[in-house]
Amino acid sequence: MGNFFNIILHQPMFNGLVFLYKYVAFEDLGVAIILLTVIIRLILYPLFYHSFKNQTLMQKIQPEIQRIQHDHKNDREKQSQALLALYKQHQVNPFSGFFLILIQLPILIVLYRLFLEGLTTESFSNLYHFLTPPTEVHNISLGLIDLKARSIVIVVLSAILQYWQGKLSLPKRSGSHSDESPTAKMARNMIFIGPVLSIVILINLPAAIGVYWLTSSAFSIIQQLIINKTLRKNDGGIQNKGQNDPGDARA
C-alpha cells in the first residue's frame, strides 16, 4: 500500500515540486510550494466547491431543520422524511463533508510529508528519468522566510485566514445575538476551532508547512467568496417560508 501511494501520489507531487522549483519559481522553494498548492487545489476544486457549498447551505437552512425537529420531535420517522425532503429541495448532502475528508486525506498526508522533508539529496531518488535535480536548494523564500525554521508570522496569518474563511461560511444575522438558536450560536463559536488548530499544529512545524497551510486557506477564502456570490445570485436557493427576515438568505 505504501508503494502504491508513493507511485500514485508522492512521486508525482515531488516531481511537480522539483519542476516548479527549477523551471517556474526561479529556484524559490516557497514560491514552488505556493504554486503546487494552488495546482492541487484547482484539481480538487469541484470537490471542495461542492462540499463548501453544502456546508454554507446547511448553515442557512438551520431554522427549517430546527422547525422540522420541533414539529416532529415525537415521530422520528416523519422527522427523517421531512429532513430528507428538505435536503432534496435545496439539493444539500449533509454527508458531503465526510466524503471530502476521506478523499483528500491521503493527498494532505503526502503534501505534509513532502513539504516537511523538502528537497534533499536523498529525496532526488524519486525523480523521473527526464528530470534532473537542481544544483542547489534554497530554503530562504523571498529573501525573508527560512522554510526549515518556525515562523510565527506565517502561523498568525494562517490563523487569521482560517477565521476569515469560517466567518464567510456563516449566514449574516438578521436579529440580535440573543435571538439566535443554540445551533446557530454553536456554529458561530465553531469558527474559532480552525484558527486555534492552525496555531497548535503549525507552531512547532517548519515554515514550509505554514506556507502550504496559508496558501490553502487563501484559496479557500476565494472559493467561499465565489460560493457566496453564487448563492446570493440565486437567492441562496433558500426560502424560509416567510418565517425569517430576507437577510437570512444573504451570505
187: cell is 456554529
Average pLDDT in the 75-90 region?
Answer: 89
56: cell is 454554507
Average pLDDT in the 18-37 region?
Answer: 95
Name residues whose C-beta falls within 8 Å of residue 53's C-beta, 6 or more positions apart in sequence: 227, 230, 231
DSSP label at 235? G
Express each pLDDT in 194-220 by its tens digit: 899 999 999 999 999 999 999 999 999
pTM for the whole structure: 0.79
SS3 state at 242: coil
Name, of 11-15, 74-78, 169-173, 183-187, the range with top average pLDDT.
11-15
Taking alpha carbons only, the member of 82, 70, 56 closest to residue 227 is 56
Higher pLDDT, 112 or 212: 212
Q: What is the pLDDT of residue 196?
A: 93
Q: How far apart are the first and last CA of the chain?
A: 43
